[in-house]
A and B are shown apart, each in its own frame.
Chain A
């Protein structure tokens, strides 16, 4: 989950956090997590069970989190970066401390499918445990797509990367994520290239592909599409799985007759992992470990997923997750789909620059 923008809101909310005084009686843990990403009752229960007060603060982009961590003395004890490219290069920069696994007995509940993939970025999962993971896919308004394209369900990226299809959708509204690390790998993969390619020509080809449908894109934005889909303002968005399901849920609650669906296209897509980690300069290391262990409790992890509609990396939690979530292959993909998902690797400075520059061309046309 890589939301961009809205730095102002995140920064101002971050300023509210004040360093809590340390004393034997008053144990605290300072948690910095994505906005709208936890069931608040989980935090209350944690305090009730352990006596540790949770100072909870939120951000809405990996970039904001990264900048605060790189500046040092962030004051946070638990943070939730996306594994790649963000956490991987933060580990390289020395931002995190190794976890004391003897204090994390609940590690045995974790799901090897997730842990082994995360190990690409965090060998042996030395620095982090998984909180949620998900995919980048297509969220759409079923009735509007039926009317515009004459299909009942979306199965392919052709819908957004074929100019002919996009022209038909332009009037009902299409949003793209404003996030180069999410959309560009998908475009590269669609063209049959390595999604992690740094090759200049292949990058240009992917950029041109998006440029060819750009006139039909209403907006590049990484969070507005949730409400836009739920209200029926737009017919399609490239988005993160859980966000689209939240949109579907909101539409259902509003009873406005809007039906939102999510598709993992058959060409394959990106899979991402949001990891919980402890900064190297954290003040409350003991409490941070207790918090991590609590989150890895199967029932707690299940509650978290029931709330945010994202799959988690906790295998033991699956029996406690609502059937409509755990049995939905768009949320918990089946084996066949899983084999089609790819992960992205961090880029070096020069390649990152090329990526951002190409994305600026996509978004602004310059």
Chain B
């Protein structure tokens, strides 16, 4: 009897995350997918068909006939969307590389710090989350704008004689993204580096390897899982980022988040906006799934 109970409990524990994914990922995805096949109308809500369970089966079938894939074809008609996707991927990729460049030494230093200090350092990395994300991005406006803190400081030092134009450029977007997402890069890196056996490095050095050589041959390969996790955590949300480019960037920067905003709010075209979102998901998820599979296979072989 006890065994039965624990078996059921085990099943329930496994079901819970699946239920979570079903309710909070799959169902919303299907709703968005459904809207992407609809047609715009001036009504509440602004698309058709709208399904009402009360109307029964026949109405449902009737509604299904109204579905159209035209919204997806529309996205290929105008180079705007492809350009926006590519530009977003480019911006996100550069930001991710910069975040890795800054985050890796931080995580490494944390992992090598005395264990009594680590908790404090970890705390410092997480600390910014105590303040609203929006307020932190606003703070950057105060720092970067022409009469902002940065320019005043550089004036004071006499380094520049006219203000640096950073606000409203891609540079400002990179600064904003790198700053905001840095903890997402540092934490997984720290987690892998902290578990690493540093006696391996001593062994390598004993065998005549230089410090740099040991770093590239041992530390980096062993931290690959952390690098991948960190890069994913930064790259994926950065592609669809809207707030940072909107507040810090110039209006001339074409990004998919802004394009989606235009479709949804300016054109009130929920179906096309949904199609943009679905394509964005495919553009991001499909390559990542292939990548993960390749990773898993490589690991299998490694064993």
Question: Are A366 and B268 within 8 A (Cβ)?
Answer: no
Give the docked Cα–Cα distance between A61 and B265 (Å).
10
Alpha-carbon gap, A359 to B247, bound state (A): 19
- A356 to B272 CA separation, bound complex (whole angstroms): 14
A220 interfacial contact with B, CB 8 Å: yes
Contact A64 B265 (CB under 8 A): yes
Q: Is the CB of B268 within 8 A of A221?
A: no
The one of A64, A93, A356 in contact with B44, judged by C-beta atoms closer than 8 angstroms, is: A93
A66 and B243 alpha carbons, distance in the complex (Å): 20
CB atoms of A9 and B134 under 8 A apart: yes
A interface residues, tally (CB under 8 Å): 40
Looking at the complex, which one of A92, A95, A364 makes contact with B251 (CB distance below 8 Å)? Answer: A364
Q: Which residues of A contact B168 (CB under 8 A)?
A: 218-219
A89 and B42 contact, CB distance less than 8 A: yes
Question: In the complex, how many angstroms separate the beta carbon of B236 from the nearest chain A beta carbon?
Answer: 19
From B80, B246, B253, contact of A6 by CB (8 A)? B246
**B268–A70 contact, CB under 8 A?**
yes
Report if A5 contacts B (CB, 8 A): yes
Chain A hits for B247, CB < 8 A: 6, 8
Interface residue A314 (Cβ < 8 Å from any Cβ of B): no
How far apart sit A64 and B264, CA to CA, in the bound complex (Å)?
A: 10
Cα–Cα distance between A221 and B259 once the two chains are bound (Å): 16
Contacts A5-B246, A360-B80, A364-B251 hold; do A66 and B147 have CB atoms under 8 A apart?
no
Chain A residue at smallest Cβ distance from B40: A349
By the criterion CB–CB under 8 Å, are A364 and B268 in contact? no
Residues of A close to B259: CB separation below 8 A = 360
Query: What B residues does A6 contact at CB under 8 A?
Result: 246-247
> Hey, which chain B residues are within 8 Å of A66, CB to CB?
265, 268
Cβ 8 A contact of B265, one of A8, A63, A363, A366? A63
Interface status of B63 (Cβ within 8 A of chain A): no
Question: CB-CB < 8 A to A8: which residues of B?
Answer: 134, 242-243, 246-247
| Inter-chain contact A357/B45, CB cutoff 8 Å | no
Q: Which residue of A lies closest to B145 (CB)?
A: A233
A84 to chain B, nearest CB (A): 14
Contact B269–A349 (Cβ < 8 Å) = yes
B292 CB-CB contact with A under 8 Å:
no
**Contacts of A349 on B, CB cut-off 8 Å?**
40, 42, 267-269
- B253 in complex: contacting residue of A4, A69, A364, CB < 8 Å: A364
B223-271 CB contacts (< 8 Å) to partner A:
242-243, 246-247, 250-254, 259, 261-262, 264-269
- Point out residues on A near B: beta carbons under 8 Å: 4-9, 12, 61, 63-64, 66-67, 69-72, 89, 92-95, 178, 180, 218-221, 231, 233, 349, 352-353, 356-357, 359-360, 363-366
Interface residues of B (CB under 8 A from A): 40, 42-46, 78-80, 83, 134, 146-147, 168, 242-243, 246-247, 250-254, 259, 261-262, 264-269
